[in-house]
Structure 1
Amino acid sequence: MKDELKKRIVKGPDGFEFEVDPINDYYCDAAPKVHPPVYVKIVEDLFNWARSESIWILGFGTGCGAIEMRPLMTPRFDAYRFGVQWRPTPRQSNLFIISGYLSVKTLKRVIRSYEQMQSPKYVMGLGSCTINGGMYWDSYNTIKRLDQYLPVDLYVAGCMPRPEALLKGFDDLKKIIRAGKAEGANLYAENFDWYKANQKKVIQDWDMPDYNW
């Protein structure tokens, strides 16, 4: 463990000594909460329709798929007309696109970004690498199945999928959201211990907070 994370005695400017425990003081071990649907079905249907028409993307360019996401916002494909737009931070986004293979080191940052997103949130796995490891299936330093570490609402297969396939993926995701079946965030909350155990199994230096409040 890094020295700055260890429990220690600190002396303040006034000479008073006190104990600090960064792990307990600054890191949150709280599990995410399950968000049940609204009791009135017509209201929940309205919410789901609004969510499906407001796809705000956090794109994590982990591999080859990043180059295929850029043309989506050009005049040729114009994803804006479908209510799709890119956001700069996790807390402004509701769709997380993992675009390619994931190394163990990158997985740590991906988890951290996902846990900063507000629910309801969705995950799209882009390319074969997120499904079965793709061409890196036998690498010692890449994960093979994204859904063992984060809940995946939709996969877009291919190596790599073209922008047209991405647009079809957005359309399919919208249908899932409208039907009230995009339950990835709740699945993560319900099976939090299982996901966290899988994450910590491959990430050895777990020096990061859990953003699940």
Structure 2
Amino acid sequence: MELTGWRGSLYHYMDWALKLAYLNILWLVGIIIGIGIAGFFPSTAAMFSVIRKWTQEEEDIKVFAHFKNEYKKEFLQSNKYGYSWAVLGVIIYVDLQFFRGIPTIWALVISLFFFILGAIYIVSLLYAFPVYAQFQLTIKQYFKNCLLIVLSNPLFSVLMVLGFYFPYYLMTKVPGLIPFFGGSLISLVLVIISNRMFETLEKNNKKYIEEQEIK
């Protein structure tokens, strides 16, 4: 018998909470198996893949089997991808700190440039794994698409920042939630927002094609 009313809503949210907690534990186990440095990115890629399936109304997937398969399949590629982001972040940070230490006007201008570049980098990073889970591209194409999305969709970029911040803020206020929702809840919010953005981009692209055909 299907529950309705407040009981149905309660069951729905409890079901999602249990699924997210289970997925978060798998994510942590995947990180541990890879001894952290080699496990974080494939585990994160697998987690985003599961959440993408859920948001596509494929809630009956075998979570453990899908997570395990994605973890193994994406192990090398996701590490290359993730550490490419990490290296780029270190370069931007080091350059920013270097020029901030030089007391000249031109150094201040360059520091401002790297500060803006760093802000764009951070927002692009929020799209990194939603885009990775959604498309099959080269690493260069992933970077290019993340950058283009940030620059061309400022509203969604603000939503992505807020979508990361509020769950993160909740975790800092209730640390006991971290082992159960620290990664999965943030990932769910980011995937929901990015999915809406992908749908908007697809509609705009279809509309543009139709207008060109009319012309």
Q: TM-score, normalised by structure 2?
A: 0.26
Q: TM-score, normalised by structure 1?
A: 0.26
Larger relative strand fraction: 1
Larger relative helix fraction: 2
